[in-house]
Amino acid sequence: GESVGLHLPTLSVQEGDNSIINCAYSNSASDYFIWYKQESGKGPQFIIDIRSNMDKRQGQRVTVLLNKTVKHLSLQIAATQPGDSAVYFCAENSDNQGGKLIFGQGTELSVKP
């Protein structure tokens, strides 16, 4: 289930299931989006990115979907594995924010074996 508040939103899935992590962004001028994975004690690790002229991009076991109409980004992970357990951050970039990456709050993914 999900919880929001003082703690990170969490998503708990069974190993082998597909996971969907969602992200809402507020800046309609954002034109580049990235998903990062962060394991405990490590820095964010790049997963996949997408530019605003696309609405879908696929990688190995991951797909990013971009809906600019409702300013929504999602990360789909196929056949989720225990090694996918981590915190996932979306980040956006736009020229009117000086071109730097702005990160969202993050979602904690927990994979049950």
Partner 1 sequence: GAGVSQSPRYKVAKRGQDVALRCDPISGHVSLFWYQQALGQGPEFLTYFQNEAQLDKSGLPSDRFFAERPEGSVSTLKIQRTQQEDSAVYLCASSLTGLGEKLFFGSGTQLSVL
Q: Which residues bind partner 1 (CB under 8 A)?
A: 6-8, 31-32, 34, 36, 41-46, 49, 89, 91, 93, 95, 98-106
Residue 78, Cβ density class (10 Å: 0-12 exposed, 13-18 middle, ≥19 buried): middle
Please name the amino acid found at residue 68.
K
* Nearest distance in Å: CB 73, partner 1: 14
Question: Which of 84/92 has CB closer to partner 1?
Answer: 92
In the complex, the smallest distance separating the C-beta of residue 82 from partner 1, rounded to whole angstroms, is 21
CB atoms closer than 10 angstroms to residue 72: 14
